């Protein structure tokens, strides 16, 4: 139990954010109005060296809005579903 508490209480490492292409870019670009294009935000993410870190952060923290790691919430939701299915299949196979 103590190990679990230690894990929960540890701060999340977000040092990767300092290397992100989006540093200094208007945050509104990554949180477009409903129905607005996400193309520009995704283009900023495309060549980013920390894209995977950003995406994993958003998935792990349940980010429901915005473009993270070059993906929209809908795209991240598909990944979460796929991973949940894979976990269930793994547990069933064990």
> Which tokens go with 65?
């809005």
At residue 93, the pLDDT reads: 87
Chain-centroid distance of CA 58 in Å reads 2
Nearest-angstrom CA–CA distance, 88 and 71: 24
Domain ranges of the chain: 13-93
Has residue 2 got a pLDDT over 50?
A: no
pLDDT digits (tens, 9 = 90+) for 29-86: 999 998 999 999 999 999 999 999 999 999 999 999 999 999 999 999 999 999 999 9
| Residue 8 banded pLDDT, cuts 50, 70, 90 | low
pTM of the model: 0.81
At residue 36, the pLDDT reads: 93
| Residue 18 banded pLDDT, cuts 50, 70, 90 | very high
């Amino acid at each position: 139990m103590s190990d679990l508490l230690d894990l929960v209480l540890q701060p999340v490492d977000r040092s990767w954010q300092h290397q992100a292409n989006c540093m200094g870019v208007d945050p509104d670009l990554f949180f477009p109005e409903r129905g607005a294009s996400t193309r520009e935000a995704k283009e900023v993410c495309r060549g980013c060296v920390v894209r995977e870190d950003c995406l994993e952060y958003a998935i792990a923290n349940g980010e429901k809005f915005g473009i993270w790691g070059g993906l929209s919430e809908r795209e991240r939701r598909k990944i979460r579903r796929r991973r949940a299915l894979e976990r269930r299949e793994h547990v069933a196979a064990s």
